Chains A and B, each alone.
Chain A
Amino acid sequence: MKHQSTRSPAEPQSSPLALLGYLLIGTYLGVIFVQSEVVSWFRIQEMFRFQSFHMYGIIGSAVVVAALSVQVIKRLGMESATGEPLQLNPKEWGDSRVPGARYWIGGTLFGVGWALLGACPGPIFALLGSGITVMAAALLSALAGTWAYSVLRPHLPH
């Protein structure tokens, strides 16, 4: 069974300079997450109630910019600064009798959690940084959820 989250063991270790780059890109993203309020439980409620364009505009324009960038990178045959090949791992449909079971079942469970907590994984870390310490309890719960999935994984349809 193939999973996009399983990287090949041949993947090279990142250099300290590259790690500094990832740290800076993350910092950039954390600032935008907070100042655009996408980390806000209020904004997530506004989105699920279809009462503002704000979240849809952010996700939609992010997708458009990301898609255009990926097309440019592919067409120009660009390489990464560290020489690694540029490819997005295709998502697998899975081998269950129910095609795509992991996407709609897992996706729905994730959506329930997203609406309750008002934060997905990235915002959990940004909120912690912004000083909302109770998010540490949410992070521990999310780790418990990931661990529970890891245990149940052989028994779940994918």
Chain B
Amino acid sequence: MLESLSGPWPWYVAGPLIGLVVPFLLLLGGKVFGISSNLRHMCAAAPTPESWKPAFLNYEWKRAGIWNLTFVLGIFLGGFLAVQLIGMPDAGSHISEATRADLQALGVQEFSGLLPADLFSWGSLLSPVGLVLIVGGGFLVGFGARYAGGCTSGHAISGIADLQLPSLVAVIGFFAGGLLVTFGLLPLLLG
């Protein structure tokens, strides 16, 4: 329908548009842009006996988090509309030649869509590689974001934009962990 908008949207368009989410949320309800808190709200909302929940998950999640859960439902809808109205971006063929060559050397074969289908699929979920990437990666994203008190949105964007030194430390940690995986763990895992 809107195929003419098909990507990749350049950084100088996408970056400023993402940055505007910070004043939008502040001006609408005094809210601070941060997405990973939703994982905590979802745990707090889980229908388990109260006694199963650690103290950190015992709070009024509706009052504190309903705005953010609604916001993240919007992100889900946005992902749906982006593909339905504009189309699935072919990131695998848009990345640099050097990245493609490096990933091919690691054994990645599928270069279409947003993710390599040979690594990310229900079929790969039960293989050791899929388990580490999807289940291990997901677990550490959830654990690390809450431990660090924020993720890419809360620290790298909101925190650094407000010149918060702890956020800079967290972002340096994000990169240390990412480089460790890219140059240390991935070659072992995929090689």
The chain A residues found within 8 Å of chain B, CB to CB, are: 3-7, 9, 11, 13-14, 18-19, 21-49, 51-67, 69-70, 72-73, 78, 80-82, 84-93, 100, 102-122, 124-134, 137-151, 153-154, 156
Extra contacts, 11 of them, besides A141-B136, A144-B139 (Cβ < 8 A), are A34-B114, A42-B111, A47-B178, A58-B11, A70-B161, A106-B148, A110-B141, A115-B182, A117-B138, A139-B138, A145-B142
Partner of A110, one of B25, B132, B151: B151
**A32 and B18 in contact (CB under 8 A), knowing A141-B142, A143-B39?**
yes
**A67 and B152 in contact (CB under 8 A), knowing A105-B173, A146-B142?**
no
User: Looking across the interface, which residue of chain A has its beta carbon closest to that of B57?
Assistant: A150
Prevailing SS type, chain B contact patch: helix
Partner of A59, one of B15, B20, B73: B15
Partner of A137, one of B96, B135, B143, B170: B135
Cβ A149 vs Cβ B133 within 8 A: no
Cβ B70 vs Cβ A22 within 8 A: yes
Among A28, A107, A133, chain B packs the most CB atoms within 10 A around the CB of A107
User: Looking across the interface, which residue of chain B has its beta carbon closest to that of A93?
Assistant: B166
Cβ B114 vs Cβ A107 within 8 A: no
The chain B residues found within 8 Å of chain A, CB to CB, are: 5-33, 35-40, 42-43, 53-57, 59-60, 62-64, 66-68, 70-83, 86, 88-89, 91-92, 94-96, 98-99, 102-103, 111, 114-116, 119-122, 124-125, 132-153, 155-167, 169-182, 185-186
Q: Cβ of A67: which chain B residues have Cβ within 8 Å of it?
A: 160-163
Q: Cβ of A132: which chain B residues have Cβ within 8 Å of it?
A: 114-115, 120
B111 shortest CB reach to chain A, Å: 8
A155 shortest CB reach to chain B, Å: 11
| Complexed CA–CA distance, A93 and B138 (Å) | 26
